[in-house]
Each structure stands twice: as structure tokens, then as C-alpha cells.
Amino acid sequence: MTTLFISDLHLDAERPQVTALFGRFLREEARGADALYILGDLFEAWVGDDDPSDTGAFVARELRTLADAGVPVHFIRGNRDFLVGDAFARRAGMTILPDPAVVMLYGEPTLILHGDTLCTDDVAYQQFRAQVRNPAWQQQFLSQPLAARVAFAQQARAASKAHQAGLQDKGAMESITDVAPATVEATLLRFGITRMIHGHTHRPAIHELEIGERACQRIVLGDWYDQGSVLRVSPGDVKLETL
């Protein structure tokens, strides 16, 4: 009895070895899981469900095969693939969950989310996030030709790298791009839950916290840039490991 959690794969055509690793993971370990949760940034960029990329087609096929084998696949949108829609979800056989969502893991309620909403000290990013998550903005963006959307995604990636480089120069990269402890505390208190699982920060760890005189746990998933990262949750046990 094991439920698997992954995030921040950032799949694209430039890193085919990671896409291949993901495919093997789905065909092998994931086949025996109770469920698979993907907590955002499955793709490096996603500009709409009409994107004809080979990577997207491969992922949809592999996830559909897993779902058809009886393993539920759940997905939370990330900051790179927030435009993944119902059409792709149907192709992939996966269920899109709200961010955040509460799930029961072997009797224990757990809060799951991508994690970018916890990084409230990065004001510039939060302003950008509010803009692109606006339904009106998304509708206008998706109405543009595919080439224009791809160009925008490339510009956004360049701007993100420049923003991070600027933070690095100021010595603020580690603090600004990580979660804000007060936001983590407020989020757990709001939901009344003692365990949280998220990605986004690329800082894999299991943090033991005390919030409101209650023992809490914040589990951060790793990225898939240099290796795979998976959280295995079973009754009474959690293991965060690399592939």
C-alpha cells in the first residue's frame, strides 16, 4: 500500500533523458501504487492543450496507460503548466485538483499544493501569478495563435531567469524564493491539518514543525533536473527518495 507524489519534472524536448526516466517510472514503480499525485510543473512550459509537442503526446499516452491499469492519477497545476486544461486531462486520464486540496492518506488528512502560494516574500512573482491565473487573462491568451503563445512562454522563462539572477546578485535568492514560514503556519492553521506536501521550491526535505502547540510536518518534493525525486507514503510511513 503506497501512494506516490512527484512534482517539478519540467519536461520538455531539450531534456529527453528525464522524459524517458518518467516513462520508466510510470511503467514500473507507479503500476503498483494506490495512486499517483503530480503536484505541478510536470512540463517546463504549457501554452494550451492544442500544443502538438511530442513530449506532451508521450506524457498523455503514458499517464493514460497508467490510469487504464487502475492507478488513479491526480494533478495540481504549477507555475509552469497552469494552462493544462480539461482536454489534456481527459487525454491523460488524470483528475485536476484545486490548489490547495485536502486528501486522506491512509486515514490522515493531508494538505497538498504546488507550493508557489507559500512564497509570499517574492512579491514580484506573486503579482505575476495573480495576473496569469486570472480567467480573463487566460481566455485572451489562449485565443492567440500557437506561435504567439510559444513566444510568450519563451519570454516569460527568460524574465524568470533574469529575476532570479537579480535576487542572486542581491544575496536574496535563498530567502525570497523559499516559502515564508508565517504563510506556512497560517495555511496549516486555516485548514486545521498537521501535514502538508508541496513542491515548487526544489528543496527536498521533511520538516518537523510545531504550530499552535501541535506537531506538524511539511514535506517538500524534489525536482527532476538531474535525477528523479519521489515521495512514497504508506500507512504510518513516509520516504522521500531519489530515483
Residues of the binding site for Mn(2+): 8, 10, 41, 79, 114, 200, 202
| DSSP classification of residue 166 | H
Which residue blocks in 123-225 are alpha helix, DSSP H? Answer: 123-132, 135-142, 146-169, 173-176, 181-191
Contact partners, residue 72, CB within 8 Å, separation at least 6: 34, 35, 36, 95
CB atoms within 10 A of CB 153: 18
d(C-alpha 229, C-alpha 240), whole Å:
7
Residues at the binding site for substrate are: 79-80, 122, 160, 170, 200
d(C-alpha 224, C-alpha 85), whole Å:
23
Residues at the binding site are: 8, 10, 41, 79-80, 114, 122, 160, 170, 200, 202
